[in-house]
Amino acid sequence: MILSAIAAVVQALLLLLASPLITGLIRTAKARLQNRRGPSPLQPYRDLHKLLRKGVVEPETASAVFTAAPFVVFAATLLAGLLIPTVAASAPLSQFGGVLTLVYLLALGRFFLALAALDTGSSFGGMGSSREMTIAALAEPALMMAVFTAALGAGSTDPGRMAQVAIFEGWRFLAPSQMLAFAALFIVLLAETGRIPVDNPATHLELTMIHEAMILEYSGPWLALIEWSAWIRQMVLLTLLANLFFPFTLASGPGVMELLAAGGLYLLKILVLAGAVVLVETTNAKMRLFRVPELLAVAFVLGALALISTFLFGVR
Amino acid sequence: MPLWSDPLFGQTMITLMAAAVLVLQITLVAQKSLVASIRVFGVQSFLLAGIAGTIGWFTGAGHIYVAAALTLLLKALLLPTILLRLVEKIQIEHEMRPLLNVPISVLISGLLTLLAYAVAEPLQHGMSYGGPAALGHNTLPVAVALFLTGFFLMANRRKALSQVLALLSLENGLFLGAISLTYGMPMIVEIGVFFDVIVAVLVLAILVGRIREAFDSMDVTRLSRLRG
């Protein structure tokens, strides 16, 4: 019990402290690939520091939803992060729920953000939240099906249990359906974290913006909380992708050396995935909003095929 | 037993690569840019050569290596280069407009893949599992799926060049089916098929150029009148 409490605290700290670094590294790598020098990878920490010291300006039209949203979003995202295994092959809060809880905690955060954007009554907020909900409604089925494919392979919806089964089975765990599910989940990752074919994370002065349009009215520590939870969410999704489909580097015992080695490999996996995201971002142009459903249709079909081929391929 | 001589490991690798081939085929259906489609086709052929090479390694049949090497050289390197040159030379617009829009096309190819699974399933029942004899047999549904979606892709495209690409991906499905069921046809048939494909692409390349010269476009829907 005490051990799992410590694990929860350590994992929460890991998510809180490492997620700005991942975002910073993605930004720097992207700038380098575009022949710019770019900001230092530590810039997100400085942004957080700056924002947390400032005051808050609240719009006159805002209600209590506007005030509550940053905290709800932050708490939901962090909780979702505690439901997946990061370094060790078990999730700290696994007794509270499995993958389904994770998906709906992320959805709860998104719902409150959209609500808060509507609450201020600005036209940008309304536009942003309607776009966000459109994309979310299309991305969520694909996410669910990809996650269920992995759950079917392991016979459990608890991500920690899934990782243990995979480690036990070794390379036999790699089934063709997982390849399809991985591809689907990667597209969902791009859509959910607002990456370039779907949304441009680098600008907040564009008519096509989605995430930035929703948080336009926020300032100071509240903005810091929302930005921070967006970074944590990105790290949670990267971790989900890395540890659902390639969990073999996770530590299965409580040894210190083992945990340290697994931690290093975990960061390596996340960085490889982040590198893939950077490559996609630099080689693609942003899609028109009406073409985003095409991309998500591909993710949906891949996810559906993955789920069905688990039954049909005859491997398992 | 070391990993590289365990046939079950070989089978896992082959099915993984086959699944990646299927993912690439669906990308091909969703892709609108011609240049990107050609590159996707190149990667797909590269994976096919990988599958052939793995089957060759685990069965010890020498002629499959030749087939793998031919696939690598011709389909993964030579054909994409020829097609990319062609695109550059005739400077066509890179966006292709399929007859059906992308979500419907992708859904249809998903359904075709399901059909392929349903068709290939009874064939798989009689086969033995495990051991080198069963290697790659469960890629049959993927092969049938490549074949069916290749057909659909060909019907769904307007431009002659993208139809050539669809034909090539269809041929990839045939190759995958042949190599996974029979460990490759006799060498002479294999070589014949490869030269057929090369000649077909070269002839079609010339034909595409001609169509473009005569009609100022590669849209085959304009070729609707016979003239004596």
Cα(A85)–Cα(A89) distance, integer angstroms: 6
Distances from the Cα of A131 to the Cα of A74, A135, B197, angstroms: 21, 6, 46
Which phi-psi region, left, alpha or beta, contains residue A22 (left: φ > 0; alpha: ψ -120 to 50)? alpha
B8-41 per-position pLDDT tens digit: 788 788 888 888 999 899 989 888 888 888 999 9
Mean pLDDT of B113-123: 82
Whether the predicted pLDDT of A171 surpasses 90: no
Residues in B lying within 8 Å of A, measured between beta carbons: 3, 8-9, 12, 15-16, 18-20, 22-23, 26-27, 30, 101-103, 106-107, 109-110, 113-114, 117-118, 121, 124, 138, 141-142
CA distance B29 to chain A (A): 9
Instruction: Round the average pLDDT of chain B to a whole number and report it.
Output: 81
- Which residue's structure tokens are 């996707």? B40
Mean pLDDT of B59-84: 85
Cα(A100)–Cα(A150) distance, integer angstroms: 13
Mean pLDDT of A110-118: 93
* Residue extents of the structural domains in chain A: 2-312
The answer to whether the Cβ–Cβ distance between A293 and B138 falls below 8 Å is no
Query: How does DSSP assign A30-65, residue by residue?
Result: HHHHTT-----TTHHHHHHHHHHHS-----TT--HH
The answer to whether the Cβ–Cβ distance between B19 and A180 falls below 8 Å is yes
pLDDT at A315: 46
Query: Token digits for B122?
Result: 């009874």
Mean pLDDT of B97-124: 84
pLDDT at A49: 95
In 3-state terms, what secondary structure has residue B159? strand
β-bridge partners, B54 = none
Instruction: Round the average pLDDT of chain A to a whole number and report it.
Output: 88
* Residue extents of the structural domains in chain B: 3-222
- Give the residue from A313, A315, A316 with the most B CB atoms within 10 Å of its CB, the best one to mutate: A313
Query: Token digits for A296?
Result: 């998500």
Buried b (16+ CB within 10 A) or exposed e, B125-155: eeeeeeeeeebbbbbbbbbbbbbbbbbbbbe
Q: Which amino acid is at B202?
A: L
The answer to whether the Cβ–Cβ distance between A179 and B109 falls below 8 Å is no
- Which residue's structure tokens are 């995935």? A273
Lowest mean pLDDT among A2-6, B46-50, B140-144: A2-6
Q: Which of chain A's residues have a Cβ under 8 Å away from the Cβ of B8?
A: 172
Cα(A294)–Cα(A173) distance, integer angstroms: 31
Cα(A187)–Cα(A146) distance, integer angstroms: 11
Query: Using an 8 Å Cβ cutoff, are A248 and A166 in contact?
Result: yes
Which residue among B18, B109, B121 places its CB closest to the CB of A176?
B18
Cα(B69)–Cα(B71) distance, integer angstroms: 5
pLDDT at A228: 95
pLDDT band, very low/low/confident/very high, at A213 (cuts 50, 70, 90): confident
- Give the residue from A134, A179, A283, A288 with the most B CB atoms within 10 Å of its CB, the best one to mutate: A179
pLDDT band, very low/low/confident/very high, at A316 (cuts 50, 70, 90): very low
CA distance B70 to chain A (A): 26
CA distance B23 to chain A (A): 6
pLDDT at A190: 92
pLDDT at A90: 82
CA distance A288 to chain B (A): 14
Rounded to two decimals, the ipTM of the complex is 0.78
Query: Using an 8 Å Cβ cutoff, are A216 and A153 in contact?
Result: no
pLDDT at A29: 93
- Give the residue from A287, A294, A301 with the most B CB atoms within 10 Å of its CB, the best one to mutate: A301
Cα(A204)–Cα(A211) distance, integer angstroms: 9
Surface-to-core class of residue B29, CB atoms within 10 Å of its CB (0-12 exposed, 13-18 middle, 19+ buried): buried
Find, among B58, B45, B59, B67, the residue nearest to B187 by Cα: B67
CB atoms within 10 A of CB A155: 10
Find, among B178, B64, B180, B177, the residue nearest to B133 by Cα: B180
pLDDT at B176: 87
pLDDT band, very low/low/confident/very high, at B127 (cuts 50, 70, 90): low
pLDDT at A231: 94
Cα(A279)–Cα(A263) distance, integer angstroms: 24
B169-215 per-position pLDDT tens digit: 888 888 888 887 776 667 777 788 778 888 888 888 788 777 777 77
pLDDT band, very low/low/confident/very high, at A187 (cuts 50, 70, 90): very high
Mean pLDDT of A19-42: 92
Mean pLDDT of A280-305: 88
pLDDT band, very low/low/confident/very high, at B133 (cuts 50, 70, 90): low
A61-84 per-position pLDDT tens digit: 888 999 999 999 999 999 999 999
B139 or B4, greater pLDDT: B139
pLDDT band, very low/low/confident/very high, at A28 (cuts 50, 70, 90): very high
Q: Could you tell me the pTM of the whole model?
A: 0.87
CA distance B100 to chain A (A): 12
Write down how long chain B is. Answer: 228
Cα(A162)–Cα(A243) distance, integer angstroms: 9
Distances from the Cα of A32 to the Cα of A28, A234, A280, B75, B199, angstroms: 6, 21, 14, 34, 44
Q: Which of chain A's residues have a Cβ under 8 Å away from the Cβ of B30?
A: 294-295, 297-298
pLDDT at A76: 95
pLDDT at A209: 84
A31-44 per-position pLDDT tens digit: 999 899 889 999 99
Share of chain A above pLDDT 90, in %: 47
DSSP code of B75?
A: I
Cα(A34)–Cα(A28) distance, integer angstroms: 10
pLDDT at B136: 65
Cα(B141)–Cα(B176) distance, integer angstroms: 10
Q: Which of chain B's residues have a Cβ under 8 Å away from the Cβ of A312?
A: 114, 117-118, 121, 141
